[in-house]
Amino acid sequence: MLLNSSDAEWYRILHYFPWEDYGEIAAQYYDALYHFNLLEAQKREEKELNRAESWNESKEEAIQRFLFDRPTINKSVPVIHDEEFEAPPLRTVNPSSLAPGIVPDRLGGKKPKCFFALFKGFLGATLMGFPPEPEMVHLLLTSNLPFARVCGFVPKGENSVYWYKHVPSLRKLEQFDMIMTNYGLWSQLKWDEVRRNIEEGVIHKENELVGDTTHYHAYSNFETVIYEDEKGKEQKKSQSKVTKKCHCENWETCPHPWELADDGAGTVVKSKSKMIWGHKASILGLPRQGVPLDAAAIADGATFDGETLFPHVERLFGHLPEVEPWFDRVLYDSACDNKVLKEKFQDEWGIDLKASFNPRRTKTVTDNLPRGMEKITPYGTVICEGGYEMDYKGARYESEKFIYQAPTGEDNAPVCLNCEHKMECCPHSNIGRIVNVSFDLLPHIDSEDPPMAKRFKAIMSRRPSVERMIKRLKCDLSDDRLKKRGNASFQAYLDKTMIAFHILLRN
């Protein structure tokens, strides 16, 4: 019944899941799991031994150290979250020996849970629109029998002993998610899925790339830190609280290092009156198809939007070099309306950066206007005394003038013909008032690429496509309220939603 239900697409995708395509990542997972278990045992021993090593830093010193390591204060720190993954030293598992329900044999110890079943658990939760986190996967596996079965699990009876096919405990799901995150397997899968869709022609080539940022609410609190800037002036900044991982009684004197409780969280400024304590992600995608190619965690949530685009495009081309030759234009909002940045894109990749026009502090022009005109807005829109918006026609470069003409009304005749201002504006015109505006009157507008032009508007009309991609990732396939802390978890969260998006795209 679920297979035939149009509302249960998740079931069809999990039922026909092409596990053969995931043998390689499954083998890497089992190797990582083995390494992880070994490491855990070692760490426990080291903990005992390293008691003597002292970390001589007060809480206040730690807070200042973290503050000056943030890219919004220290310009030498990378803007995009730097992914550092662990790696198992050896490849021991052969991908061709694996299949759903068939897990590698190890000497001693219990059989591990099946990778394919665990992965389908996380994928299924995301496809149903739930956040891809262990708590949600556990809830679904224990409450929804068809879901548990289609993933490859069998419900656990009351007193039954461990069997690797039983629905996993919450702790086992947390461990799976942690290994997939720490060993970079979510990240690798994300890039694999995007690449597969390109190779199979599910994603078509486009000559434009679009970008934007979006925020997620952090699962933490902040404190206000007071510090001195380079001029010796006192400044304030919101920062994640600091904490320690150990269970010592006195954190002020114990030797273990301080850590940020939620690294990457920062104050995201939406407007003058709206600020959010959250994580920030940068999204890059194809505007015509509405497909995101990557979602990256920003190292500090407080980073200004204009600073994230360049390093993110760099990261995209690093991971997917095959798409670099596709693009001759990048679209962004006014945060990237910046001459230096545009030149950087030209120099580095020969890409034309088109940003929504930002008039900055320019005021409406009301003086020295051509006859009959009331004002020119900072965006270069001319309004006449009759209240009509003049049509922009183009520029005349020899005489350095922008040309506008009166619009036509419903009867296709120029609006000027019946206008009460016609006598003092254009008494002899039959085609409607034509206005020449000197470039000097609008010095902030680039005459080579004026935002009033139809071409500019047509190109920028594709920019909001990125808002729809963000909605799909953030609302349809997950949730904008995070349940975990730190940027590594946040990046994994983004990767898990991207994986589900691209699998869904193929189906």
Residue with tokens 């949600």: 136
Contacting residues for 100 by C-beta, under 8 A, at least 6 apart? 19, 114, 116, 117, 152
- Do the Cβ atoms of 409 and 392 come closer than 8 Å? no
Would you say 1 or 49 has its CB closer to Zn ion?
Answer: 49
CB of 249 to Zn ion, least distance (A): 9
CB of 63 to Zn ion, least distance (A): 17
CB of 252 to Zn ion, least distance (A): 10
Would you say 145 or 248 has its CB closer to Zn ion?
Answer: 248
DSSP 342-357: HHHHHHHH--EEEE--
Neighbouring-strand partners of residue 389:
383
CA distances to 40, 69, 100, 345, 398 from 93, rounded to whole Å, are 20, 40, 15, 44, 72
Would you say 250 or 271 has its CB closer to Zn ion?
Answer: 250
Site for Zn ion, rule CB under 5 A: 246, 248, 254, 256
Would you say 183 or 258 has its CB closer to Zn ion?
Answer: 258
Would you say 61 or 314 has its CB closer to Zn ion?
Answer: 61
Would you say 53 or 367 has its CB closer to Zn ion?
Answer: 53
CB of 44 to Zn ion, least distance (A): 15
- Do the Cβ atoms of 435 and 404 come closer than 8 Å? yes
First to last CA, the chain: 19
Three-point CA angle 320, 175, 260, nearest 5°: 75
CB of 40 to Zn ion, least distance (A): 19
List b or e across 254-280, with b for residues whose CB sees 16 or more CB atoms inside 10 angstroms: eebebebbbbbbbbbeeeeeeebbbbb
DSSP 70: S
DSSP 374-433: EEE-TTS-EEETTSPBPEEEEEETTTTEEEEEPPB-TTSSBGGGG-TTHHHH-TT-SS--
Angle between helices 23-49 and 115-127 (to 10 degrees): 100
CB of 81 to Zn ion, least distance (A): 27
Q: Where are the alpha helices (DSSP H) in 144-275?
A: 145-151, 170-182, 185-199
For the beta sheet containing 391-396, the strands, ordered from the edge strand earlier in sequence to the opposite edge, are: 391-396, 401-405, 434-438
Q: E strands along 192-265, which residues?
A: 208-217, 222-228, 234-240, 242-243, 259-260
Would you say 51 or 468 has its CB closer to Zn ion?
Answer: 51
Would you say 55 or 68 has its CB closer to Zn ion?
Answer: 55
CB of 250 to Zn ion, least distance (A): 8
Would you say 236 or 247 has its CB closer to Zn ion?
Answer: 247
CB of 251 to Zn ion, least distance (A): 6
CB of 246 to Zn ion, least distance (A): 3
CB of 259 to Zn ion, least distance (A): 11
SS3 447: coil
Would you say 224 or 253 has its CB closer to Zn ion?
Answer: 253
